[in-house]
Amino acid sequence: MRRARRMLVATALLGATAVVAAGPDAALIGRLTGLEPELAGDVVRVSLPRRDLAVTVDGVGLAPFQGLTSWAAFADAGDGLAVMGDLALTEDQVTPVMSAALDAGLEVTALHNHFAFDRPRVLFMHIAGRGTPEALAQGVRKVFDAERAARHAPPLDGFGGPAVPAASSLSAAPLEAVLGATGQAKDGMVKFVFGRRTTVHGAEMGAAMGVATWAVFAGSVAAAVVDGDFALRETELQGVLRALCHGGIHVVAIHGHMTGEEPRIVFLHFWGRGPAVDLARTIRAALDVQRS
């Protein structure tokens, strides 16, 4: 009896292990993403090599195998799946692909370069998410579809928008009214700084040390540009991304500036072009999300 009981227990444990080790449904993920799934242990990966691009790095031709491939990997996460991915994008693809990812319920967690002296320039957008297999796979499909739809040969050389005068002529008052803060005026440009706080190895860091959300407006009332930085806690990132994308301001980098800080601060760099007050309204909307 004892031997039979031990065999039953062992069989049950082996069965449970087999269920755990089965991993995500590769066939389902492949069907919903439209890509051939690959198995890496208990992880299912799909990839999209950027064979459409002729990229050189330091004058040397780059093959997709050398890191010029978009991919997403799915793994069990207890009550659903987790997905992580890395998308190889030309500069003109970043905004539409980021919007598609956010609209699909995925998180955008980083945006940066992997190479120097790459022609055309390639940026890498990292994504993540948790949910049902169907929701995540369909979200990844939307992201890859957006990447395909935003291909241009050659890639576009700018965001477009109204011609911005070389000499700036902005006054601070209209922008201050929108942003609810006092700006610093210089040569027809206006800068706003909103300090944040964190601690690095026991030392408090604030705006003077570079821990700040800031925006500089230049150009004219009708045709302006804005560039700057959001210093964000991790929990604020996705909401600010949505606010900026919804308002037509482009996110050009997401990364860290420090190590060992508490709380962790993520820096988001942006660029926008259009009527000055409209740009300020979008920045204000993002600030309101950050403050909430």
All domains of the chain in start order, with CATH = 2-149 (no CATH), 172-291 (3.30.70)
- Positions in the chain whose pLDDT score sits under 50: 1-21
**pLDDT value for 36:** 97
According to DSSP H, which parts of the chain are helical? 2-21, 26-33, 94-103, 133-149, 172-179, 237-246, 276-291
Residue type, 142: K
Residues 6 or more apart whose CB falls under 8 angstroms from that of 148 comprise none
Determine how β-strand 122-131 pairs with β-strand 107-113. antiparallel
Residue 53: phi, psi to the nearest 5?
-105, 140
Distance CA 49, CA 32 (A): 18
Of the candidates 46, 47, 91, 83, the one whose C-alpha atom is nearest the C-alpha of residue 68 is 47
**pLDDT value for 171:** 97
The structure tokens listed for 287 are 């600030």
Residue 50: phi, psi to the nearest 5?
-85, 65
For the chain, how many residues are written? 292
**pLDDT value for 4:** 44
**pLDDT value for 2:** 46
Is the separation of the CB atoms in 268 and 229 below 8 Å?
yes
Residue type, 228: G
Distance CA 32, CA 44 (A): 13
**pLDDT value for 23:** 83
Residue type, 59: G
**pLDDT value for 28:** 97
Of the candidates 120, 99, 108, the one whose C-alpha atom is nearest the C-alpha of residue 52 is 120
Edge-to-edge strand list for the sheet holding 60-61: 60-61, 56-57, 118-119
CA angle 101-107-111, nearest 5°?
85
Residue type, 141: R
Burial category of 143 from C-beta neighbours within 10 Å (exposed 0-12, middle 13-18, buried 19 and up): buried
**pLDDT value for 242:** 98
Of the candidates 213, 227, 218, 206, the one whose C-alpha atom is nearest the C-alpha of residue 272 is 227
Of the candidates 194, 193, 197, 195, the one whose C-alpha atom is nearest the C-alpha of residue 261 is 197
Edge-to-edge strand list for the sheet holding 203-205: 203-205, 198-200, 261-262
**pLDDT value for 22:** 65
CA angle 117-148-49, nearest 5°?
55
